Chain A
């Protein structure tokens, strides 16, 4: 099975900061990497798919990059509503065997 490892597991930052979250796959997954945001008590929300494509309706301050085994999610200028938990997910395995990273909790400094 493909394992996904996110870092850091938690992060403190201030409004206006630029932050980067990293996700590493245990084997190459090409660009089959998706990012989700989850606010407390809510269902996850798709932010980025195919490593770098912005989901419709998601603010442009969110961006993704990477391919193969190493990926990043960047928020260019943190807004108050961005303080949440972020998960990466690989959708490469065939037959389908999706796995998530353990999550990164983004907190207000």
Chain B
């Protein structure tokens, strides 16, 4: 069965960077785009960007341009999202999700990774 398993919770200081991993199994990793979505406590879903695991091509929401980098290691079917220059308002749960073909719905989600930014 398809699974996306994310790395564990992180606590970072303001100005630091965080790198979250997302390991895919149960399907061919290079076939579907991986997207990252975050959610602050009690808030809505915020789309951050996408990555094509086959080509490595990426696209980022304007809000995160210059601060986010999405990469992958196809040999271990793992996607990564690195966010730099962290601020307290980056405290959120970060999800990786697979975009299915056709109308690109996000059909499988990781369990989420809590990133806490605090001095």
What CA separation (Å) do A31 and B103 show in the bound complex?
8
What CA separation (Å) do A96 and B100 show in the bound complex?
13
B11 at the interface (CB under 8 A from A): no
Q: Are A95's CB and B59's CB within 8 A?
A: yes
Known contacts A43-B111, A96-B50, A96-B59, A34 near B103 by CB under 8 Å: yes
Which of B61, B95, B105 is in CB contact (< 8 Å) with A97?
B61
Q: Are B104's CB and A32's CB within 8 A?
A: yes
The residue in chain A whose Cβ has the minimal distance to the Cβ of B110 is: A43
Residues of B within 8 A of A78 (CB): none
Which of B45, B62, B103, B109 is in CB contact (< 8 Å) with A91?
B103
Q: Are B47's CB and A100's CB within 8 A?
A: yes
Which of A34, A43, A87 is in CB contact (< 8 Å) with B44?
A87
- Interface centre among B33, B44, B97, B100, by most A CB within 10 Å? B44
B112 at the interface (CB under 8 A from A): yes
Residues 10-48 of chain A: 1 if any B CB is under 8 Å from the residue's CB, otherwise 0?
Answer: 000000000000000000000110101010000111100
Q: Are B45's CB and A46's CB within 8 A?
A: no
A-B contact pairs, 12 of them (CB 8 A): A1-B62, A32-B104, A44-B37, A44-B95, A44-B106, A46-B105, A96-B33, A97-B47, A98-B35, A98-B50, A100-B37, A103-B45
